[in-house]
Structure 1
């Protein structure tokens, strides 16, 4: 598993996601890296949707000051954590999607390079932000999502991890919550 570099500023909980637990996921058609359209509001069973600012590429520099933005750095370690724990999540009947504002072609490169066994969803228009009030920030002239993770059952948000830090630990935290909360949403 990759780790987030030491010395990065730690994000603080600004309360921007407090309203999300108990909320229904909206009916949004988001493009997936496999070319399918995914309607978040129609997902059934357990789903983990980890939302991240952007995945860097080896051939493209990160925006100036990226390491100084609390919570911005760490998308690759977070994705790799969900990759490395994917089998365990499946044993708990939980599916996984990553979601960012990057387009699907950009995300496909990351999915393939990181060998992710799940798809990434593109929300270039920030429709989820508009529908649910997902926190975002601006960097290098682009509006990006703040890092958070939603755990939903049958389209209803059961748990939100926000802020997520360190990102490499997120998948383990989600697994622990799923194991420790059998009362949340019926299990199959």
Structure 2
């Protein structure tokens, strides 16, 4: 499965956020988006990644960038994760792994661990960067550098 590649238009999708509200991609089109898939709430690497986005959140919002985290955890798990770490951005529950399949996010570690992939989408909805690395820290400098290119 190829999935979403650089140069593709982002397909429309919807999912429940950490508050149980239906999130629709159409509600944030026209902004630069950072959409990141992560394996699991409240694990060391995923917490580090979420806290990176939390700590940089004001810089992102000042630039008009929307941050969205996605994993297959439940709405309740996302709510607890967001509350515990004071995450100010949207977390989407991909309980049926439909979004993971739509984006073509691979699994790692013999197919046991959901992959960690970050997508940068420009204001026109075009995917400008796909970065796949299980090491959470590898995503941080790439995201900041790429986002600033589109503003």
TM tier, smaller: 0.7 to 0.9
Measured on the aligned residues, the alpha-carbon RMSD in Å equals 2.3
Match of 2:119 among 150, 159, 173: 150
Partner residue, 1:48: 34
Residue 28 of structure 1 is matched in structure 2 by: 13
Report the TM-score when normalising by structure 1: 0.69
Greater helix content? 2
Does the aligned pair in 1 maintain the 2:36–2:118 contact within 8 Å? yes
Alignment partner for residue 47 of structure 2, among 76, 91, 116? Answer: 76
Q: Secondary structure at the match of 1:174?
A: helix
Q: Deviations over 1:152-175 (max 9, x none)?
A: 12332111121153x145334311
Which protein shows a greater Rg? 1
Match of 1:160 in 2: 130
The corresponding residue for 2:68 is: 97
User: TM-score, structure 2 length as denominator?
Assistant: 0.84
The DSSP-based 3-state class of the residue aligned with 2:61 is helix
- More deviation, 30-39/116-125: 30-39
Runs of 4+ in 1 over 4 A off after TM superposition: 16-19
Aligned length: 147
Deviations 1:103-160 (A, max 9, x none): 1101110000011111200111111233232212443xxxx53001111123321111
Q: 2:85 aligns with which of 93, 99, 114?
A: 114
Q: What is aligned with 1:131?
A: 102
Structure 1 stretches lacking a partner, 5+ long: 1-15, 58-72
**Is the CA contact (8 Å cut-off) linking 1:31 and 1:38 kept in structure 2?**
yes
